[in-house]
Structure 1
Amino acid sequence: MPPRVARVYHIQVKTHKLTIMLSSLAPATTIAELKAETLSALGSDVASDALDFQAMEPPQLSIETEEDFELCRGKREKGKLTGEYEILETAKMLRETGLTAWEAIFLQPRDKSTGELVPINYTLPSMYDEEDETPTRQTEATNNKGKRKANDMDEE
């Protein structure tokens, strides 16, 4: 039985340490519409400090129009990102791009002065909060509480 085609897409647009969630997108949604939604999200009140260079680590982005950035898909090899990205064509629909239902895509800004695309600089978020200590693995010796050892049996 062939795999079922996703009827709704939930796309994450990532840049630096910011993630924009675009959910419940129809398969007929074009990449141009995704760019418009992304620009709208970047300009909303919720994201007012999101692109501030003091609130996030560099570089500062200045995105005012849809021509100031491209949406890119990360190339994968054996399930892991390779660090290379391909630009998604604005005329294509989601179902034509080969994106999965919950895929993350990346925002690649353009340099205002030259019009060249700036390399994508994405930082994976930490698995743990900065305040929390990372959990330590227990060694086998501390894990044996309550179990009798061979030496203990000989002494009896």
Structure 2
Amino acid sequence: MLSRAPPKAYHLLLKTHKLTIFLTVHQSSTIAKAKEEALSALTSDVLASPSGVPHFPTVPGEDVDMVEGNAQVPRIQSTEDFELCRAVKDKGKSNAASFASTPVSYESLNPSTPVKGLLSNWEILYVQFRDEDGNLLPVEVSQPSLLDEDDEEPRRAPLAQESPVAVSKGKRKAPPE
């Protein structure tokens, strides 16, 4: 079987607060180029409302929460106002377990480092903003729940019957509900 060639363009997910930005960068570009793309997305007119308060396109009913909520994306002017970072993975633990139970630590990415060899396709990066003094603020990101609040526990398949069942060849019938 032939191995796949590495992609020429990497798709990266950039997360901050309740916002996810999809970036496409060439494999030979650097983290600095990805920061420029992130700056363009974070300062675009799509996020600004006429009142000057950042506006995030969401489903109806969530607009009030986003504008009046306690977590707003800080305004930035240049690539010096933030850093791109990624979550540090603990060895021996699965990602889901480490994100759910322990606080996640982040490592800043060197702007002069090329994307190829450092990142993988569809990797999640995070924005770490700087305060007025130039100190890095903690990463603020909210991970959405995979279940709706109104939904109950996910339905599981019924357990297999313990009584021996004659195995016959041919079409299988769906189990009774």
Q: TM-score, normalised by structure 1?
A: 0.74
Q: Tell me whether 1:115 sits opposite 2:116 in the alignment.
A: no
Q: Cα–Cα, structure 1 residues 63 and 53, in superposed 2: closer, same or farther, change >3 Å? A: farther
- Provide the C-alpha distance between the structure 2 equivalents of 1:92 and 1:139, rounded to a whole number of angstroms: 47
Q: What fraction of aligned residue pairs are identical, expressed as a percent?
A: 36
The alpha carbon displacement at 1:62 in A equals: 2.3
User: Match for 2:125 among 105, 109, 117?
Assistant: 105
CA contact (8 A) 2:14 2:21 kept: yes
CA contact (8 A) 1:53 1:60 kept: no
Aligned length: 140
The one-letter code sitting in structure 2 at the alignment partner of 1:19 is T
- Provide the C-alpha distance between the structure 1 equivalents of 2:87 and 2:156, rounded to a whole number of angstroms: 37
Q: Cα–Cα, structure 1 residues 57 and 129, in superposed 2: closer, same or farther, change >3 Å? A: farther
Unaligned 5+ runs, structure 1: 148-156
The structure with more strand, counted as a fraction of residues: 1
Deviates more, 1:38-47 or 1:57-66: 57-66
TM superposition outliers: structure 1 runs of 4+ over 4 Å = 1-4, 138-141
Q: TM-score, normalised by structure 2?
A: 0.66
Residues 1-156 of structure 1: pairs in structure 2 closer than 5 A = 4-23=5-24, 25-48=25-48, 49-50=55-56, 54-77=67-90, 78-80=93-95, 81=99, 83-96=104-117, 98-112=118-132, 114-129=133-148, 133-134=151-152, 136-137=154-155
Unaligned 5+ runs, structure 2: 49-54, 57-64, 160-174
